[in-house]
Structure 1
Amino acid sequence: MDTTSPLFLALLANGPIKMDGYTYFLYGGKIRKCKSKRGPRKSRTEGERQTTDRFTETRKMWKIYRRAIKDLPIWRVEARARGVSKSDSLFHSINGGCLQPGKGVWAFKTFRFSVGSLDAPVITAAEREGWTVTLHWKNGANCPKADSSDWVFLGYFYDTLRRSPQLTLDYMPRRIDEKITIEIPPADQPEGTRLHLYLFFGNEEFTQFSPSEYVEL
């Protein structure tokens, strides 16, 4: 429509007109125009909402996890090895799918407490008596990816606290020992609460780590 025509002017007498991205209106008897404001933002789809909620859950888990492992550079070392700019990005890409918004870990078996280039543990037996757990593993041969002097670490979750990863640091045997026995703090949890355990190794300098191996007791 010709915006200079008398017809258009007459139409504007009844109120503003939106056309071609502009809003036309009368001001002081003259035709004025301005860019039309964008409409309200479309509501998020269910898929978008789930993606955002899962990202938020993973960010929360990362913060709690980092406190649990203290200064161990597990994910920083592996991120550097893979050419990933940030360790939290690597944690998100590997563990994000194991988390449920508002609930924490739901896929314990596929969750990775540790990642790295050292040979992972091969758990041969797992026992529990009360809050005392014992894990056995095969040592394997000494090689660049499996040294007898590697430190042993044990991460864990209580089944009732799926957003609270923990790591034992008070007692660390060596890979050559082929066994770890440790008392898990009850933490006011009901007797017999299931434990999700993650065994992994780190070299003496803490510059290399192994993937974690999972067992439930």
Structure 2
Amino acid sequence: MKVKDFINGQFQGRHNNLIFYTRGDNTYVRRYAIPGKKRKWETEGRTPKQQAVAIRFKAVQVFYMTFTKQVSPEIWRAVAKTVGRHAPNVFFSRNFHCFGEEGQIADFGNFMFTDGTLPLPRNLKVSGEGPLFKVTWQEERMWKTVSGTDRLQIGVLYDNDSRIPRVASQVKGRRGELHGEFTLDESIGKKAHVYIFFCNETGTRFSACRYFHVKINS
């Protein structure tokens, strides 16, 4: 076994049938599967609780893969880089609890469509009857971490198709303008969970998101 940090007691490696590994400041232990020996769930079957967890686990994996293709592969990579972890693992740790036992998102309000180091503007608001919606905000900060050219972005999960993450079309707005707009596709659905976030001009830094639920009344 390799001692990774003797002072803090962090270990890494295998001892008998146990594997020790670290993630950040935490040390974890898991059993090593003995070749040829079946695990308990393989011989006795999974319990209902284990089945539900397996469904949720698979659902989060599939959702993340879809997110990288439909939205962006860079958002969660940027988050992961700041904490020294892999992007899928960070997304999983932030959002697993938001998925229900049937594999669909059950807690849209706490779901993190995005995260990041770029600050969100204050007092974000959405208005409009749809399919065109207006977004307004306040921003008096003159920090080095923000710029007036930061771009408004809109993540979307339609009520009737929430397994597919999307970005809204025809999004306009820069941080310094204090307002923007976006359009939803009413051919997909009349109601949608909307996640407002910002990215810098080069698309390398992103903000956390603010959640709204909107309806197209036209």
TM-score band by shorter chain is 0.7 to 0.9
Q: 2:79 aligns to what?
A: 78
- For 2:138, the aligned partner's letter is K
For residues 119-138 of structure 1, the aligned pairs below 5 Å read: 119-138=119-138
Distance in 1 (alpha carbons) for counterparts of 2:48 and 2:103: 18
| C-alpha displacement of 1:109 | 0.7
How much does 1:188 deviate? 4.1
Matched, 1:202 2:199: yes
Q: How far off its partner does 1:94 sit?
A: 0.6
Aligned residues between the structures: 176
Tell me the CA shift for residue 101 of structure 1: 4.6
Letter in structure 2 aligned against 1:119:
P
For 1:208 and 1:131, locate their aligned partners in 2 and report how far apart those are by CA, in whole Å: 28
Retained in 1: the 8 A contact 2:76–2:87? yes
SS in 2 for 1:100: coil
- Structure 1 CA distance for aligned equivalents of residues 168 and 116 of structure 2: 19
Question: Which of 29, 44, 53 does residue 42 from structure 1 map onto?
Answer: 44
- Are positions 1:96 and 2:96 aligned together? yes
Q: Percent identical across equivalent pairs?
A: 23
Query: What is the rounded CA distance, in whole Å, between the counterparts of 1:179 and 1:83 in structure 2?
Result: 35
Structure 2 unaligned blocks of 5 or more: 1-36
Alpha-carbon deviation of 1:161?
1.2
Distance 1:133 1:211 in 2: 20
For 2:103 and 2:95, the matched residues in 1 are separated by 14
Secondary structure of the 1:215 match is: strand
Q: Report the 3-state secondary structure (helix = DSSP H, G, I; strand = E; otherwise coil) of the residue aligned with 1:157.
A: strand
1:6-25 counterparts in 2 under 5 A? none
Residue identity in the other structure for 1:115: D
Q: Is this contact kept in 2: 1:75–1:88, CA < 8 A?
A: yes
Asked if structure 2 preserves the Cα contact closer than 8 Å seen for 1:123 and 1:135, the reply is: no
From the superposition, tell whether residues 65 and 187 of structure 1 become closer, same or farther in structure 2 (CA, over 3 Å): farther
- 1:213 and 2:210 matched: yes
Return the letter of the residue paired with 2:45.
Answer: S
Question: Offset of 1:96 from its aligned partner?
Answer: 1.3
Quick check: 148-157 or 103-112, which moved more?
Answer: 103-112
* Deviation for aligned residue 1:142: 2.0
Residue 188 and residue 158 in structure 1: after superposition, are their counterparts in 2 closer, same or farther (change >3 A)? closer
User: Does the 8 A contact of 2:156 with 2:167 survive in 1?
Assistant: yes
Structure 2 letter corresponding to 1:197: V
Q: Distance in 2 between matches of 1:135 and 1:127?
A: 7
> Structure 1: 5+ residue runs without aligned partners?
1-36
Q: Please, what is the CA RMSD of the aligned residues?
A: 2.1
Deviation at 1:60, TM superposition (A): 1.3
More strand by share: 2
Q: CA 1:61 to 1:75, structure 2 compared with 1: closer, same or farther past 3 Å?
A: same
Report what 1:113 is aligned to: 113
Q: Distance in 1 between matches of 2:80 and 2:121?
A: 21
Distance 1:180 1:83, change over 3 A: same
Structure 1 or 2, whichever has the larger Rg, is 1
Contact 2:171 2:181 in 1 (8 A): no
